Amino acid sequence: MKKRFSICFLLCFFIIFSVFADFGYKLDLLSLDPIYSEYLANRGRAGLSISYLSFSEGFPDKIIQDTFFNKDNTVQKVVVFPFDADIEPKNRMVNLQTGETFGLVRNTFTFDSWLSPISFDFSMQGVLSFFFRGSFDDNIGYDGMYFYGLTCKIGDFISFRFGNHHYCSHYGDAILKQVQNNTFGQNGNNFWLTYKYVRMQTRLFSISIEPCSWLRIYGEVDYPPRGIYSIRPDMFAPNWIMRDGLYINPEYPDSYNARIVATGIELTFSLFKNLGKTAIGYDLRFYEEGKVKYDHENGGEITFDEDAPWEMEHNIKIAQGLSRTVSVEIAYHNGRSPFNNNFDQHTQYIAIGLRFNPDDTVTLFDI
Amino acid sequence: MKKKVLIGLVMFLIVITELFADFGYQFDMISLHPLHKEYFADRVRPDISLNYLNYFEGSPDKILQDSYVSSGEQEVKVWKFSGDFSSKDSMIEIKLGETIGIARNTFTFNHWLSPLSIDFSIQAELQSFYTGDFNDSYGYDGIYFYGVSFRVADFVSMRVGNHHYCTHYGDAIYKKASGIIPTVENWMGYKYIRMNDYVVGLSIEPNSWLRVYVEYNFPPKDISTLRPNMFAPNWLKRLKGQSVDPGYPDSYNARIISTGIEVAYPVFKTLGNTTIGYDLHLYEEGKIQYDHENGGSVSFDKNAPWEMEHNIKISQNLSKTVSIELTYHNGRSPYNNFFFQHTEYFSISFRFNPDDTVTIFNYKVK
């Protein structure tokens, strides 16, 4: 027994010794080069970019809102507010994204093993996505999105993130000017100024695998936890969500939980030696909210269709790095409106944009 | 005569040969490292930053608008909000801006004037303001410049071009105002706008740690729009050729003059530069007098001083791209639709400053 123990001990010792033969440790206070990289083709990607969108379907021409829960004890229904006039120029939009992923207090361990390096940090991701008229003056609206949680990466091969995610959407002046005739600012079934698509906060689990330097695949699930602060529109709330002591949608099945599942693939090459990398990405999103049915043209009753598929969204993006920081990007989108308050509108557009991607790091300690 | 021409030609040839002995030419398609740098302490500096503002004076509590020229005598209306905003006296500002040099030509040669650079410069900025708890938006300002910038011998730089200011209310204001302003008022699209001014900027850097600058901003006679109407010079006409403010003197031209000084030095060798800057803005619009508490008539006071604005900023680079900044502001509201509100605040910020360049061509005579 003693002999076996000695052999095991020696084996462990050699393994540990071998692993720590080339040991290194680094502490970064702040890094803009995330452990868990943003998804290239995701429309809500946290980045600094300006894009010009050309719509072939779903340019905003109305607002829909569902009625307040329990208001006047009436049945939950959808109200449609057509705009007084078209937003001009029609089918054009400018999208400005101000966002970044910050890695805070990053610990990186290097050692002599295929598992090296191992990194983990506290990650914050914030993005404000602004949508302007094509003439780049008035604002159609803006979405605030953020994530905070833990990220880790093993062997430059596999990375994870786990934390809380937030969506919130706000009308801008371009829309508010167009609904003034809809008794703007009054109560009742009339236009509600602060109505918004909000998920505050959902839980997020993500995994990303990079089997080689040019390939990445990822998967992500986003769901509301039982203690969620707010999820709106009310019609999208699962049956366990209560307000004023009453369930909002008691008739919805237990299986429904307003989940969002995303997956995608990214390929990166150095096609042009004098420029940066060429990347192509495909992002696919599924919204369980697709099972909630309503007439988004005329409004009216809301129903739940258990057999309906989840709503799908496709994004394809091609990016060409021009330098260390700047890239030009072309995107095709087919799915939800890029502006979350127009969640009801199926949208198709092509976008061309410039992205600025600083990836600096403030290192405190490196041995 | 022929002899003189010959001597002159030979001399010219010698000078040119000398100059071009070490000639180089570089062409950059895009550069985020501007020839005429942004003014460090300017509150509308185009940058990428997150700022937390703590007010001592002038936190938003009302809307002020002057009447349209068509609605009779020029007067100011004030609507006071019925309650405070959440997180009163604090505000979050997010700036997304950058100066982009396009098609930059740089010539290097054997002379103290070298290098000479010239490019087409675009400077764009969107600055948005949020309540202190970072949910709703007070509004946003769009600011841009486009024109030509050039730099001589890493010593003097200039920019000349068009400058634009425009501002928009956000949902935080709409919520507060919708119950106060009568629905018949067409107030939602009201804005402070200068579309577009001419601007001429000059900057001098006598050595690596010092910079002084001055800039002159004025509306040309064919300006597309300048609002509020009460700030328009007497030559500005609207609606069937009617002058907006015929009672104003010819000397008034809604000018803005700014000047400043910057000192940068690597105090902490392992970090980047430590920089301190002071910016002074003077607005000729200060001669327009009105009661911003109660509203009423608008008048022009020839003897009134130009409105002054002071900004002092200290910055410490943490790395190549990231810096932390502290600012003291005393002057106009940082959000242009509150132009009427004298404001004093202290802010703390993070700035991200990529300064990459996409070079297409780089040639040097050996």
- The pTM for the full model equals 0.85
Q: Is residue A212 helix, strand or coil?
A: strand
Does the pLDDT value for residue A75 go beyond 70?
Answer: no
Partners of residue A172 in chain B, C-beta under 8 Å: 168, 170-171
Helix (H, G, I), strand (E, B) or coil at B69: helix
Report the range of poorest mean pLDDT among A49-58, B58-67, B180-189, B315-324: B180-189
What gap in Å lies between CA A313 and CA A310, rounded to an integer? 10
Between A110 and A8, the more confident residue is A110
Kindly report, residue by residue over B129-149, the tens digit of the pLDDT: 999 988 889 999 999 999 999
Token pair 């090296």: residue: A116
**A2-366 under CATH 2.40.160.40, yes or no:** yes
Average pLDDT on B8-12 reads: 77
To which CATH superfamily is domain B22-364 assigned? Phospholipase A1 (2.40.230.10)
What pLDDT, on the 0 to 100 scale, is given for residue B248? 93
Tell me the C-alpha distance between A115 and A109, whole Å.
Answer: 10
Q: Residue B110's pLDDT band (boundaries 50, 70, 90)?
A: confident
Residue of A nearest to B184 (CA): A180
Confidence of residue A186 (pLDDT cuts 50, 70, 90): very low
Interface confidence (ipTM) of the complex: 0.80
Among the listed residues A220, A217, A206, the one whose alpha carbon sits nearest the alpha carbon of residue A287: A220
pLDDT band for A185, please (50, 70, 90 cuts): very low
Query: Quick check: A266 pLDDT over 90?
Result: yes
For chain A, the residues whose C-beta falls within 8 A of a C-beta of chain B are 29-30, 32, 48, 96, 98, 100, 128, 130, 136-139, 142, 144, 168, 170-173, 176-177, 180, 183-185, 193-194, 322-326, 356, 358, 360-362
Helix (H, G, I), strand (E, B) or coil at B169: strand
Q: How far, CA to CA in Å, does A115 sit from each of A153, A301, B95?
A: 10, 55, 40
Give the tokens for residue B301: 């006071």
- Mean pLDDT, to the nearest integer, of B211-238? 93
Judged by DSSP in three states, B228 sits in coil
For B282, other C-beta atoms within 10 Å of its C-beta total: 17
Which string of DSSP letters, residue by residue, matches B286-311?
A: GGEE--TTT-EE-EE-TTSPPEEEEE
Q: Are B189 and A173 a contacting pair at CB < 8 A?
A: yes
Q: Residues B15-44: what's their mean pLDDT?
A: 85
CA A29 to chain B, closest CA, distance in angstroms equals 10
Beta-carbon separation of B322 and A180 below 8 A: no
User: Any idea where the domains of chain A sit in the sequence?
Assistant: 2-366
Given an 8 Å threshold on Cβ–Cβ distance, is B319 in contact with A326?
no
Of the ranges A220-224, A314-318, B170-174, which one carries the lowest mean pLDDT score?
B170-174
Q: How confident is the model at residue A245 (pLDDT cuts 50, 70, 90)?
A: confident
User: Which stretch of DSSP H or E encloses residue B227?
Assistant: strand B225-227
Q: What is the pLDDT of residues A87-131, one digit of tens each?
A: 999 999 999 998 989 999 999 999 988 899 999 999 999 999 999
